[in-house]
Amino acid sequence: MNLAVELTGVGVDRGRQRVVQDVDLTVTNGAWFGLIGANGSGKTSLLRALAGRLPFAGGSCRIGGEELADDRAARAHRFGFSPPADKLPDALHGRDVLELVGGSMDDVRLRLGKLHETLGVAPLLDRWIGDCSAGMRQRIAIAAAFAGGHPLVILDEPFNWLDPVAIFDLREVLRAMVDDGLTLITALHDLGTLASACDTGLMLADGKVALALGENAMRIAAQDPQAFEQQTIDRLRSGSTGQ
């Protein structure tokens, strides 16, 4: 199997507290991996650590076959990562944000491809971030993840604050990009998207793996999303761990 990411027994600390522990996961190249879990279950911490935005407290992290658990900067260079929309500075234009992350705007536009239109980036380029709504900030943050042209991208709850049309269009374009070879890892709260768009996934509960969703499980989920949703909600409610 051609693995893009392989985590074994990783842990992540926030302050003095271990918020992610003993997590194993694998993501194959050219697949969409969905991470779900309740609020505070450790999704964001795990994704930030994977993207080099937080250190791992232990375990093994192989990216493209290379062990990078102890090299935060190398991990950060490997992934396109959307900054939290609320961390974008008010006193920058959308253009400034994308240029700081991805270089010249011409290059960024090229790398975004169809996303440029889907996210409606053009009208946001000359708008102050401080004048943007939450949804507009989210569009810029998502575009920033793709501005560097990385083949591996991590998005933390990308559909938050977007309107229904934007959610639909973005999901379609992301799926098309994954089919063209992009490896995408997303934290999600929308079980419908997980069932219909993701190839594999994982459910976290209290920082531990509660359920690993392989290709077969996702195929079944796509066939009967309602049953999948019911089962997943039951598991999230119980918060119990176990494979």
Partner 1 sequence: MGLSAGIGAGRLVGARLAFQAFDGLLAADALHPPTRKRYMAAWLGIGLGQLVVLVLIARPSLLVASVPAYLIGALVTGLTGGVRLPKRIAGTARLGWTLRAWLRSPIAGMLAAIVLILLLLPARTLGMNALMAVIGVGTLLSALALTPVDDAIVRFMTIAGLGSRRILLHHAKSMMAFLVIAVPGCWVWSGPVAGCVVFATGTAIVLLMTLRILAYRLHGNRFADVLVSIFAGLLMLVAYAMPVALPVIAPVMLWQLHRRGQAKTWLLA
Distance CA 243, CA 111 (A): 38
Nearest residue (CB) to partner 1, 90 versus 117 = 90
Does 83 sit near partner 1 (CB under 8 A)?
A: yes
Q: How far is the CB of 106 from partner 1 (least distance, A)?
A: 19
What single DSSP character describes residue 104?
Answer: S
Distance CA 103, CA 209 (A): 38
Nearest residue (CB) to partner 1, 154 versus 178 = 154
Q: How far is the CB of 76 from partner 1 (least distance, A)?
A: 4
Distance CA 174, CA 24 (A): 25
Number of residues that bind partner 1 (CB under 8 A): 24
Does 100 sit near partner 1 (CB under 8 A)?
A: yes
Among 10, 46, 101, 140, binds partner 1 (CB under 8 A): 101
Distance CA 135, CA 120 (A): 11
Does 126 sit near partner 1 (CB under 8 A)?
A: no
Task: Give 107-169 as a DSSP string.
Answer: HHHHHHTHHHHHTT-GGGTTSBGGGS-HHHHHHHHHHHHHHT--SEEEEESTTTT--HHHHHH
Among 55, 209, 165, 208, smallest CA distance to 200 is for 209
Q: How far is the CB of 147 from partner 1 (least distance, A)?
A: 10
Nearest residue (CB) to partner 1, 97 versus 153 = 97
Residues with Cβ within 8 Å of residue 212, at least 6 apart in sequence: 24, 25, 201, 202, 203, 243
Among 1, 65, 73, 133, binds partner 1 (CB under 8 A): 73
Among 24, 120, 128, 231, binds partner 1 (CB under 8 A): 128
Among 84, 103, 113, 225, binds partner 1 (CB under 8 A): 84
Among 40, 70, 89, 233, binds partner 1 (CB under 8 A): 89
Q: How far is the CB of 50 from partner 1 (least distance, A)?
A: 12
Q: Are 239 and 37 in contact (CB under 8 A)?
A: no
Chain residues that interact with partner 1, rule: CB under 8 A: 14, 48, 52-54, 72-73, 76-77, 83-84, 87-92, 97, 100-101, 128, 130-131, 144
